[in-house]
Amino acid sequence: MSANQKQYFGTDGIRGTVGKAPITPDFMLKLGWAAGRVFAEQGNGRNKILIGKDTRISGYMFEAALEAGVTAAGVDIILSGPMPTPAIAYLTRTLRAQAGIVISASHNAFQDNGIKFFAGDGTKLPDEVELAIEQQLQKNVSTVASQDLGKASRITDAAGRYIEFCKSTVGSNLKFNGLKIVVDCAHGSTYHIAPAVFEELGARVKAIGVSPDGLNINLDSGSTSPEALARAVLEEKADLGIAFDGDGDRVIMVDHQGNIVDGDEILYIIARDRRRQNIDFGGVVGTAMSNLGLELALDALDIPFARAKVGDRYVMAQMLKRQWRLGGESSGHIICLDSTSTGDGIVSALQALAALSNSDQTLAELRGKMQKLPQSMVNVKIAEKVDLGKNEAVQSAVADVESTLGDNGRVLLRPSGTEPVVRVMVEGEDRETVDRLANELSELVAAELANPAS
C-alpha cells in the first residue's frame, strides 16, 4: 500500500460481511487503537471519542472491540447505544468530542456491518486523517501505561438531546396538528427517535418497523422497501408516510395515494420551498443518477443544479466547493447544510413537511410539480473491473442511444461501488423507448464484457 492509497476506507467508511476481513473483532480492536492514536496525537489535554451503533446484532461485539482499542490508546470514550448516524454527527459536535464512530452498515442486511467516522465538527473525516489511521494500522497494538488508559462512560440523554435538535431545525411555530403520518423505522436506529419527533410536533403517528431484534434491520421495511410503508399509508388512511433506512441517514416518503416519493422529489420540494421563502441556499447538487426531471424542474424555478459522482461524500464535496446548501441522491440521502452537518433522514423529512405546511398543499400535489422522466436501469454482471470508456463498440452504441433520445434524455454506464456489476441507465420521455434502449444497450455491454477483444 502506498502512502497515499487507502486499503480499508471506501467512499463511506469501512463496510463488509461480519466475520470476513476486515469486519472482524480483532480488526475492530486494532482500528479503535489506530484511531485513538491518531486523535490523541492531534488533541490537547484529555481526548474523547463518541461511539454509537445501529440495531444489528454484531454491533455489541464491535462496540466492545472498539472500546478496548480506543482506551488502550489512552483516549476516553462515550457510549451512546443505538442512535442514528446523523445523531452521532450532531452529538460529536455538541459534546466537543474529537471524533465520532458509528457502527453500522446503513441500508444493508444484518449480516453486514461497518464503521463510519465523523470529525469533531460533525463532518466526514478528511482523506488525510483516514490515511493516518491506515498508517497506524500497519503497526503493532501497544497499550499506554495503566494510569493513562482511557475511561469509558455512557451518555444517558442522547435520544432526548437529538430529538430536541431535530425539532429545532424547523420554525418554533410549526405544528403538524391534525396530520396523520405512518413512520417506518426499518427496525433500525431511529426506532426510539423518529416517532417521538413527529408526535411532539403534533402529528398523529402510526409507527412501524420499531421492533428491532438484531436480525430484522432493513428487512422488507424502511427506505429500501417502501412498498410496506405504501400499504400501511393506504390501510391507515394516513396523510403521508415516512421511511428511514437502518441508520437513519436516508428518507423516502409516500403520499396519501400510496405513491412513493423518492430523494429527487423530496429534494425538489425542499428547494422549491426555500426559493418561495426567499432563503438563499445557492443551488442544488445531485448525482449522475439524479432524474433529469429534477434538473428540468429546478431550471424552471431558476435554481442552479450540478451533478456529482454517486455517493454522499462527493455530493458534500461539490456543495462545499460551490458553497451551496442543498444536495442529495435519489436514494433519499439528502443534505441540508443550512440545518445540519451531514445527511439526516429525520431532518430532511421535517424540511419537506415544513414545505407542505408553508404551501398548504399535500405531498401528492407538491410532488406533481416535478415530472420525473422514465428511467430504466439494468445491471450487467462483470468478472473484473473494466474501463468501458475505451471500448469503441460500447461508446458508439451509447452515442446512437443519446442521438435517439435527444435533449430530454441521458445514458449512463457506471460500475457499482458495492457489487460486481455495471449499471446501464437510460432516461428519456417515453417509457417503452427507454426500456427497449436500456435492454439493447445492456445486451451489447454484456457481449463486449464477455468477449472484449471481438
Domains of the chain: residue spans and CATH: 14-157 (3.40.120.10), 165-171+178-367 (3.40.120.10), 375-450 (3.30.310.50)
Question: Which has the higher per-residue pLDDT, 262 or 415?
Answer: 262
Q: What is the pLDDT of residue 3?
A: 53
Q: What is the average pLDDT across 68-93?
A: 97
Residue 103 has pLDDT above 50, yes or no: yes
Residue 93 has pLDDT above 70, yes or no: yes
Distance in angstroms (rounded) separating the CA atoms of residues 333 and 303: 20
**CA terminus-to-terminus distance, the chain:** 35
Q: Which three cell numbers stand for residue 1?
A: 500500500
Residue 175 has pLDDT above 50, yes or no: yes
Query: Strand 14-17 and strand 305-308: pairing?
Result: unpaired
Count of CB atoms situated within 10 Å of the CB of 453:
4
Q: What's the full length of the chain, in residues?
A: 454
Q: What is the average pLDDT across 378-398?
A: 85
Reported as a pLDDT band with limits 50, 70 and 90, residue 1 is very low
Taking a C-beta distance cutoff of 8 angstroms, is the pair 189, 85 a contact? yes
Q: What is the average pLDDT across 39-65?
A: 91
- How far, in Å, are 206, 251, 368 from residue 237 at the CA level? 11, 21, 20
Residue 407 has pLDDT above 70, yes or no: yes
Distance in angstroms (rounded) separating the CA atoms of residues 341 and 356: 23
Residue 454 has pLDDT above 50, yes or no: no
Q: How far is CA 423 from the centre of its chain?
A: 19
Q: What is the average pLDDT across 306-330?
A: 95
Residue 399 has pLDDT above 90, yes or no: yes
**Residue found by looking up cell 490523541 in the block:** 40
Letter for the amino acid at 401?
A: V
Q: What is the average pLDDT across 214-219?
A: 98
Residue 450 has pLDDT above 60, yes or no: yes
Q: What is the pLDDT of residue 385?
A: 72
pLDDT in tens, 272-315: 999 999 999 999 999 999 999 999 999 999 999 999 998 888 99
Give this prediction's pTM.
0.92
* Separate counts of helices (H) and strands (E) for the chain: 14, 18
Q: What is the pLDDT of residue 449?
A: 79
**167-188 residues labelled b (16+ CB within 10 A) or e (exposed):** bebbeeeeebeebbbbbbbbbb
Residues designated as active site: 106
Q: What is the pLDDT of residue 418?
A: 63
Taking a C-beta distance cutoff of 8 angstroms, is the pair 297, 264 a contact? no
Q: What is the pLDDT of residue 45?
A: 60
Reported as a pLDDT band with limits 50, 70 and 90, residue 4 is low
Task: Return the top range by mean pLDDT from 36-40, 62-66, 287-291, 420-424.
Answer: 62-66
